[in-house]
Amino acid sequence: MKHILAQFDTAVTRCIADLPPVLHPFFLAVTALGSPVATMTIGAVVAGWGYFHANLRLACSGAFIWLTLGVGSIIKLIVDRERPQTAYAAHLLFDTNSFPSGHTSGSTIAYGLLAYLAWHLLPQPYSTMAVVLLILLIVIIGISRIYLGAHFPSDVIAGWLLGAVALCIVIFVLRPLA
């Protein structure tokens, strides 16, 4: 199984790494939008908005972004997978493990929650445009982590899955707009 995963990671990384170098500044900017600081800020704003509007479900939904990042950090400690051997990974501010991608899981739940809220609170066609842009942002943030050399593709996929599971819990269990 490890051999198949390594082959997958190598093949996908090679494809993404072949993107033009001129995209490097773009991917640096995009990856910043998926940073824990950015996604935790979104969580705090949503939680605060819910609190000040007496919507406990919405407040808990914002807090769930923080919880998702915490769960991802625990998984990183358990799996203990090293990051790719790249200059970018070697110079990261925090030396954390690779699996799953925190940027990807955090952006999936944070921007996914914003997409959910936009879909229900904005009029058409703005709600559709916001949802499409936010989903595109989630995908590009994941790709940026591979392009920059911070993660293997399987780390990013695991981050998307973790974030998607958390988002489903928020939407279908917490139901922030119920």
pLDDT at 3 over 90: no
Per-residue pLDDT, averaged over 56-67, amounts to: 96
pLDDT digits (tens, 9 = 90+) for 16-32: 989 999 999 999 999 99
pLDDT at 178 over 90: no
Cut 0.85: pTM above it: yes
Select the more confidently predicted residue: 1 or 172. Answer: 172
Rounded Cα gap, residues 55 and 52, in angstroms: 8
* Closest C-alpha to 176, from 135, 119, 130: 119
In the chain, what is the straight-line distance between the N-terminal and C-terminal CA atoms, in Å? 43
**What totals of helices (H) and strands (E) does the chain contain, helices first?**
8, 0
Rounded Cα gap, residues 125 and 28, in angstroms: 30
Would you tell me how many other CB atoms lie within 10 Å of the CB of residue 55?
Answer: 16
Return left, alpha or beta for 9; rule: phi > 0 is left, psi -120 to 50 is alpha, else beta. alpha
